[in-house]
Amino acid sequence: MSVRRVMGTEVEYGVSVPGQSGANPMVTSSQVVNAYGARPELTRGGRARWDYEEESPLRDARGFSYSGALYDPAEALADEDLGLANVILTNGARLYVDHAHPEYSTPEVTNPRDVVLWDKAGERVMAEASRRAATIPGSHVIHLYKNNTDNKGASYGAHENYLMRRSTPFADIVVHLTPFFVTRQIVCGAGRVGIGQDGNTPGFQISQRADFFEVEVGLETTLKRPIINTRDEPHADADKYRRLHVIIGDANLSEISTYLKVGTTSLVLAMIEDKALPGDLGIADPVSELKAVSHDPSLKHLIRMRDGRRLTALDIQWAFYERARAYAEARRGEDEAEEVTFDVLDRWESILDRLGRDPALCADELDWVAKLRLLEGYRDRESLGWASHKLQLVDLQYSDVRLEKGLYHRLVARGSMKTLFGEEDVRRAMVEPPDDTRAYFRGRCLAQYASEVVAASWDSVIFDVGRESLVRVPMMEPERGTKKHVGTLFDRCASAKDLLEAITSG
Amino acid sequence: MATREPGGRAQSGRSRRDEEIDEAPAAEASAEAAERHEKLSEDVDDLLDEIDSVLEENAEEFVRGYVQKGGQ
């Protein structure tokens, strides 16, 4: 009934070593991840591994049970033998190498504001990782970019994850989410110079990712990318939950773009779960319309609907907005995250209103508009065409994670871009977990008992407390293991051994 | 298309093409837009000067050298 749900993002960053075109991206990405993993709070007593073992059912009412089952460290070690770096952070996040890119997955959070905060913390983690990697003797400077394409045919993802009720039919998700995803880019697109997968056709488009999507529904993520991804790996009780894995979004720098991206999507998912959408917004050809919408920054393109109507992306977003507003108003007083729900609605309305009058009015809030303002400024001042290398550089450097070099960060520093959080909040989120999910348990275990944690994953933490076998604590309920549940346990347990004893005796 | 009214909220200033718009608020909105536009473009020159000072050298080489392996 609200924006509240368990969710998070996972972003693959572009990685580049200027002047070293032969650098192996897997090696470079590993250097980045390992450099960050050398931070003092992560190395006390050796680094915990990622645990790939799949899960056993929940037994304890508080969301974890104490299993004495033997754990085979060889399995976890096999991954490290491949040299794929993997670090679990004290904020509950995971920093690792995936597909030749360093990747940061936020801890699980429960609302869009927290997604923004821990996603932004990921940018700072990457910036620091790159800084640390450069201090290793003999190493080259490694640049990291929060974008989605090299403009030469390659794309890499910025995914969102949303926990949903298992009982919701997947067909309903496809019906309602497809028109929403085809059109939400006008709010949360990151902007791109170049048209087509290789960017060879000169021009500007709203989305980084649109040209890389080829089918409506499917399991693939690296080729034949689908608008709706069917991966179903909940990292939680599979009888109760599905994890909707969203691969179509752009990597956003703008906090308001990220906030509205996940906030509006979460609201639409709530309406799907409650069967509150009429299903009258079917698009005749979603894959080609996705690209057509992206290629028209004037927002005038008319989308052909299944029922023969022609609507703009804005019309369709307004329709979703109005239904979400009515849905939320009808449930006032029942929503424990009411303030955030209505803040998302108010901002969504304001953005759609301004996009309808003149998209330039959103230049200090939305990524694609902010980027377009810079590009149009240069085009006017220096009479540049869209094929200009300088414009391509502006597009790329907008997403540079370094505060002193990234153009997005320069816009923030001079007050030309609105934010939701101050730098202090973001710094804190680099090391502290959210209070209200199992990420709290994971993060505090890492912060407090690093020498006794041998491995962890989304749904477990594995300890070595000097017994014959390792002890695995499953966490199949994402909203247990919170500060409310276990905060005082951590305050009073000096060691993991004490913690485990307290859990079993309690 | 459905135009369910969202709980009686004020609708002023909105420029939906399928809604009747009074002329006065529309004029007001476009004046406001023009004013904001002007302020933004004054700002753009300063902005570009500042961006110029941090842009990487040799745009062509830099952009050409940015090659990624595909990901998810």
Q: In this structure, are A428 and A297 located in the same domain?
A: no
Q: In this structure, are A347 and A383 located in the same domain?
A: yes
pLDDT value at A207 more than 60: yes
> A109 or B35: which carries more pLDDT confidence?
A109
| Residue range A78-98: mean pLDDT, rounded | 80
Rounded-to-integer distance, Cα B55 and Cα A403, Å: 13
| Residue range A47-67: mean pLDDT, rounded | 50
Q: In this structure, are A249 and A357 located in the same domain?
A: yes
Q: For chain B, what are the domain ranges?
A: 23-55
Q: In this structure, are A359 and A481 located in the same domain?
A: no
pLDDT band, very low/low/confident/very high, at A428 (cuts 50, 70, 90): very high
Match 């955030």 to its residue by tokens. Answer: A340
- Identify whether A155 is part of a domain: no
Instruction: For residue A397, give the 3-state DSSP assignment.
Output: helix
pLDDT of residue B70: 83
Q: In this structure, are A63 and A174 located in the same domain?
A: no
What are the chain B neighbours of A19 within 8 Å (beta carbons)?
65
Could you tell me what percent of chain A has a pLDDT over 90? 83
Q: What is the DSSP string of A14-80?
A: EEE-TT-TT--HHHHHHHHHHHHHTSHHHHTTSPPEEP-PPP----STTS---B-----HHHHHHHH
Identify the CA nearest to A100 among candidates A85, A121, A88.
A85
| Residue range A410-416: mean pLDDT, rounded | 96
| Residue range A165-169: mean pLDDT, rounded | 95
| Mean pLDDT rounded to a whole number for chain A | 92
- Identify whether A319 is part of a domain: yes
Rounded-to-integer distance, Cα A453 and Cα A469, Å: 13
Task: Quote the Cα angle for A316-A259-A441, to 5°.
Answer: 135
Domain count of chain A?
Answer: 2
pLDDT of residue A74: 44
Q: Which one of A398, A433, A451 terminates a domain?
A: A398
Q: In this structure, are A387 and A415 located in the same domain?
A: no
Q: Which one of A346, A370, A398 terminates a domain?
A: A398
| Residue range A190-215: mean pLDDT, rounded | 98
Q: In this structure, are A15 and A34 located in the same domain?
A: yes
User: Across the interface, do B50 and A309 touch by the CB < 8 Å criterion?
Assistant: no
> A289 or A38: which carries more pLDDT confidence?
A289
Q: Given CB atoms, is A310 within the 8 Å cutoff of chain B?
A: no
Identify the CA nearest to A496 among candidates A59, A45, A63, A106.
A45
pLDDT of residue B37: 63
- Identify whether A123 is part of a domain: yes
What are the chain B neighbours of A278 within 8 Å (beta carbons)?
2
Tokens representing A279?
């299903």
Render pLDDT for A336-357 as a digit per residue (tens, 0 to 9): 899 999 999 999 999 999 999 9
pLDDT of residue A221: 84
pLDDT value at A73 more than 50: no
What are the chain B neighbours of A393 within 8 Å (beta carbons)?
55-56, 59, 62-63
Instruction: For residue A131, give the 3-state DSSP assignment.
Output: helix
pLDDT of residue B18: 44
> B34 or A391: which carries more pLDDT confidence?
A391
Q: In this structure, are A107 and A198 located in the same domain?
A: no
| Nearest CA distance, A57 vs chain B (angstrom) | 30
Tokens representing A422?
């101050």
| Residue range A383-390: mean pLDDT, rounded | 97
Q: Given CB atoms, is B19 within the 8 Å cutoff of chain A?
A: no
pLDDT band, very low/low/confident/very high, at A42 (cuts 50, 70, 90): confident
pLDDT of residue A223: 83
Q: Given CB atoms, is B9 within the 8 Å cutoff of chain A?
A: yes
Rounded-to-integer distance, Cα A452 and Cα A20, Å: 40
> B29 or A496: which carries more pLDDT confidence?
A496
Rounded-to-integer distance, Cα A488 and Cα A505, Å: 15
Render pLDDT for B8-52 as a digit per residue (tens, 0 to 9): 333 444 444 444 444 455 566 677 767 766 666 667 888 899 999
Q: In this structure, are A137 and A184 located in the same domain?
A: no
- Identify whether A351 is part of a domain: yes
Q: In this structure, are A378 and A417 located in the same domain?
A: no
Residue A157 phi/psi, 5-degree rounding, is -100, 160
pLDDT of residue A56: 36
Q: Given CB atoms, is A346 within the 8 Å cutoff of chain B?
A: no
Q: Given CB atoms, is A309 within the 8 Å cutoff of chain B?
A: yes
**Domain limits at A187?**
165-207+219-229+238-398
Q: In this structure, are A69 and A199 located in the same domain?
A: no
pLDDT of residue B56: 96
> A388 or A60: which carries more pLDDT confidence?
A388
What are the chain B neighbours of A158 within 8 Å (beta carbons)?
none
| Residue range A129-158: mean pLDDT, rounded | 94
Q: Which one of A398, A414, A437 terminates a domain?
A: A398
pLDDT of residue A78: 45
User: Across the interface, do A18 and B60 touch by the CB < 8 Å criterion?
Assistant: no
pLDDT of residue B45: 86
Q: In this structure, are A429 and A359 located in the same domain?
A: no
Distances (CA, A) of A194 to A359, A485, B61: 20, 50, 17
Predicted interface score ipTM higher than 0.85 = yes
Q: Picking from A111-120, A239-248, B35-44, which range would have the lowest pLDDT averaged per residue?
A: B35-44
- Identify whether A214 is part of a domain: no
